[in-house]
Structure 1
């Protein structure tokens, strides 16, 4: 009987150990599951309010153009007999660009001068005879006007440069009529027989959306980045904003001219660029990632963590809403932690957070968050 009782005791002891072990394992599993559930339920991360510069910009695509251009067009019709210039050539003011056949114009001038001489003789005879000179005087005046017009036509057979610059286009050919130049086949603005531009004076023209254009004014700083020139970037300022809009495919834009005082090497008219204009900047501002601010009407709130990790929904006053950060003028101090929910609309709060959440590297927004895009 003692022999039978000993194995039974050993079995009972083994069962007891298994039961105790299962209990510990179950508690550990429940604890891990509970902690995971609490961590997932928190659903928030934080950013730290800092002090720095808040900047707001608007941007648009544009192109480089000459700030000084001119067109030269014949004033006398005729057959083009000479074009001594070519595209890319630099010319001085007054230089000969093209010429038309002046045979007819010179003949008309000779006739006009002969008519003037005859009219003057008739006036002299009337004066010597003591007769009425009114009619003769009128004839002389008309003849002089005809001579002036004929001289202008002769001068108009020579096309000269109205300014110093580079020839950017020759819109006529030898043997063609001078009257056929100056038209635009694509419905745009007309050009001259020869177009000139001062390539030493460049500017940028860009088309900004109507919403962004309301924030622009002359004198604002701009950054220009070239799309084709590697690492080419320079600064300029807004010179002018078109007073009227341009509408194309239901998109309304305003033309903006930006100065280009120091263009990079290789800059040429026609190159495409991206223009970013600073429309607002505040230094030494308390700022926070824009995704952390909730705005309803004129009321702005954010969820702030205290030193114990407790959440507090706080009303704040904001200033400049920048590209990536918002200025907070009251209600928040630099160094305080602000909640930015992950995977939810900015400003949504979850109240079961225990302890502080991890900040984003560099104070950035969480994935899916981000700034207000300058709006």
Structure 2
């Protein structure tokens, strides 16, 4: 016991010395990064849908059973590629019969041509009458007309037979295949749907009063909520207000072309068109301001920002947010343009 007490006493003294040293060490200073709240522009959103500029429904032109189906939904095809085949046995037999009739007509035409040549030689020597000569010419012309008619009929038969092979009219993506092997195709029945993924647009219905307020070249933004935030916003390549109106809803179609070959976008997706117009919910003359998204503080039901006061100290202030765009968020109320907000709110929360 006499050897243990000095050791315990020494440990206590060392611990107290450490506490004193730590108390004398100054706390590291917290650096706050700030950004200025910039004035934004008031805008209104209108729900729309993504459409394909070039889309077609390939339908059957002749009746027949589907005997070969070479594509499925989602496949990319090239122009002229075979998509499916219909049973063409009857059409091929008809085309073969037409070709045989053409050969027979051509043989009859050759015979009529040789006979006309002999009749001309005999007529020049006055061995036959003028009437016999005219009958020979008439027989030749009749055989020639018959051969041309059968040749045209054979061409129509071959064209009709080619309708049993359905090919892609342009390069694109197959979006729908409503038939299966063995199904009976009839003229006009849809076989598949094809669209060009390189040319897409967003179409929205806007009220006539809104369309009348739009400038000649409106600053329209496209929002695609189904995509990640980094890819959700696009600038349209072209904006067009169609010169038609819906009599039941009194709206005008507004089209905004997406940039060439948009990635991750497909027809039927939900989209919004943001127009540079004051929207409902904002007081007259009020313009929202925009701040970096990382400056937003969310605590339970509180949404706020750390704003620097005149002395440069961060103060938590409750705000009302609007839409997010390109890494920035609109603040509809609670903040004025020109005020500085803290972009690292966790550091601001530790400042006393």
Partners of 2:261 and 2:224 lie apart in 1 by 10
Partners of 1:129 and 1:265 lie apart in 2 by 72
Structure 1 residues 1-375: aligned runs within 5 Å:
57-130=43-116, 131=136, 132=138, 133-179=140-186, 182=189, 192-216=190-214, 219-231=217-229, 232-247=232-247, 250-261=248-259, 266-278=264-276, 291=284, 362=336
Q: What stretches of structure 2 of length at least 5 have no aligned partner?
A: 1-37, 117-135, 290-333, 338-352
Corresponding residue SS for 1:246? coil
Q: What stretches of structure 1 of length at least 5 have no aligned partner?
A: 1-51, 183-191, 281-288, 293-321, 326-359, 364-375
Deviations 1:11-57 (A, max 9, x none): xxxxxxxxxxxxxxxxxxxxxxxxxxxxxxxxxxxxxxxxx989564
1:349 maps to: none
Aligned residues of 1:93 and 1:162 also touching (Cα < 8 A): yes
Partners of 2:240 and 2:174 lie apart in 1 by 26
For normalisation by structure 2, the TM-score amounts to 0.57
Give aligned pairs, total. 231
Give me the CA root mean square deviation: 3.2
Partners of 2:46 and 2:234 lie apart in 1 by 15
User: 1:148 and 1:64, CA in 2 relative to 1: closer, same or farther beyond 3 A?
Assistant: same
Deviations 1:123-155 (A, max 9, x none): 222222221123222211211111111111121
For normalisation by structure 1, the TM-score amounts to 0.54
Deviations 1:227-269 (A, max 9, x none): 333532222154322222223xx31222221021178764332
Aligned residues of 1:82 and 1:174 also touching (Cα < 8 A): yes
Distance apart, 1:175 and its partner CA: 1.5
